[in-house]
Amino acid sequence: PAAAEPRHASPAAPRRLREKLRTAARMAGPPAHTAPGSRQQVQGGERRDEPVTGAPPARETRAPFRFDYERFRRSLRHPVRGRRAGEDPETRARRMKIKEMMKFAWDNYKQYALGKNELRPLTKNGHIGNMFGGLRGATVVDALDTLYIMELEEEFQEAKKWVEKSFDLNVNGEASLFEVNIRYIGGLLAAYYLTGEEVFKSKALELGEKLLPAFNTPTGIPRGVINLGRQETRSLFSPCSGMSWSWGWASAGSSILAEFGTLHLEFLHLSELSGNPVFAEKASTSQLGLQVLNRVEKPQGLYPNFLSPVTGNWVQHHVSIGGLGDSFYEYLIKSWLMSDKKDSEAKKMYDDALEAIEKHLVKKSAGGLTYIAEWRGGILDHKMGHLACFSGGMIALGAEHTGEERKQHYLDLAAEITHTCHESYARSDTKLGPEAFRFDAGTEAMATRLSERYYILRPEVVESYMYMWRLTHDPKYRQWGWEVVKALEKHCRVEAGFSGIRDVYTTTPAHDNMQQSFFLAETLKYLYLLFCEDDVLSLDDWVFNTEAHPLPVNHTNSKA
């Protein structure tokens, strides 16, 4: 399987969109968006209702703006790394083991692939890929906050030095708006908020400006692919700069729900740090919700995965909480939490969506396992992707903020879904879960197709363990997490890093030769936090973006 492309899938796409992307890439051969003529060649400037550059660059719009970092730090309710008081020795030892795994993954990336996007641990070289438009160092930016939280000080300084000296934003190539946002923008923002180092903020703002032309569509819904060429040099002689288009494999030139719905956490912070409202205006939930998504009819209250950025209408009725849909729902509840529970529009959209999901998609197998099916024009597909396993954690997080009766209902639902995802791990020979698992033909929580048997170091299951632990303190979630640690060590650790495996149902699996950047950003971070006290990156202060980069809750209206 092509674990060649970062965690999403091949061309690029939403966090969990990666799933479909990878699937599309495997079926189609080369990534769809690289073939001339295979994509919908629509420039942001050809059918625009506004200037092609979207908005003036942040640094030119107003008098110099200075974000008050010290005031922000005073507004936090807990120390970033917690107090670490009174923990038991076993918990600490397990956390230290995960820290050792992170150091091993980083040291091998640094030795064999520094500056490339990801490490190929079997061949001991680097992988660049084609999702990031010429940007390099995806693993560096993805790893920054994990290194910091784990107190790997020397390694963090190595990563920071690379960003300062070698991270070049003057590139000209096709990039996934979604992937650049969640990995690079998210990683840089988190590193800045954790450390106050100006280089991270300035790089995030500069890169953010390069993404704005993607929003130049009749509806304001961005296209999925952006050329990162310098917009100020656009001319007849550089026709690509600032152009955007839709994925060639996306239905009828549509934008993808989990892509355009997974921008606003990061873009709100770009406005917060720059003083320029354009970022927030482009990506806010109120813009998406009130102007487009609330206007278009939703089948059974569900959100299909493909929407036309030209007409604002659905292109086909495929609904998934896994790839293509996933992080849209995640960012609704997290927008509300990040706003300190003031973004009521996002909360209502989340509540309504979850109600429709529970009514139409949540099913129970003959063996008693609760799962979330996919919906294709009214017909259910009884499968769950690994990517959809984030939903246990999301539902638990949202449950904390409902009435007492509904709270217990949603916590129970979250626990049931997380249990099902654990079963997908427990029923494999490696104790790692497949890319997708099904509930049909007498099979439950297992992959039935060869193309779904692989594991590429994905984080979604341990992500839900972390949230379930923090919200219930049921010790089984730590035990389940430790089972994953042991399985990773046994089956994925190789001489020079960690690699995905091609078949979770054999005890001697072949490796895919890819140490995904999200393994350092997410999988190891969530495992580490599972064995931390609750005040380490406290959920009172931080919301994790869909790449596990912590962004602060807006406490600025509180006394700082």
- Residues within the annotated binding site for Ca(2+)? 546
Beta strands in 80-150 (DSSP E): 118-120, 125-127
- Residues within the annotated binding site? 546
How far apart are alpha carbons 210 and 368 in whole angstroms?
Answer: 49
How far apart are alpha carbons 348 and 297 in whole angstroms?
Answer: 16
Please tell me the total number of residues recorded for the chain in this structure: 560
φ, ψ of residue 422 to 5 degrees: the values are: -65, -40
Give DSSP secondary structure letters for 328-382: HHHHHHHHHHHTTS--HHHHHHHHHHHHHHHHHTEEE-TTS-EEE-EEETTEEE-
Per-residue b/e over 198-227, b at no fewer than 16 CB within 10 Å?
A: ebbbbbbbebbbbbbbbbbbebbbbbbbbb
Listed in sequence order, the residues at least 6 apart from 48 whose beta carbon sits closer than 8 Å to its beta carbon are 216, 217, 218
Listed in sequence order, the residues at least 6 apart from 272 whose beta carbon sits closer than 8 Å to its beta carbon are 67, 280, 554
How far apart are alpha carbons 503 and 364 in whole angstroms?
Answer: 26
Catalytic residues, which ones?
Answer: 179, 326, 435, 460
The neighbour count for residue 330, using CB atoms within 10 Å, is: 29
Are the C-beta atoms of 389 and 464 separated by less than 8 Å? Answer: yes
How far apart are alpha carbons 187 and 204 in whole angstroms?
Answer: 9
Listed in sequence order, the residues at least 6 apart from 49 whose beta carbon sits closer than 8 Å to its beta carbon are 218
How far apart are alpha carbons 386 and 321 in whole angstroms?
Answer: 10
Token readout for 88 is 């038991």
How far apart are alpha carbons 382 and 278 in whole angstroms?
Answer: 42
Are the C-beta atoms of 424 and 438 separated by less than 8 Å? Answer: no
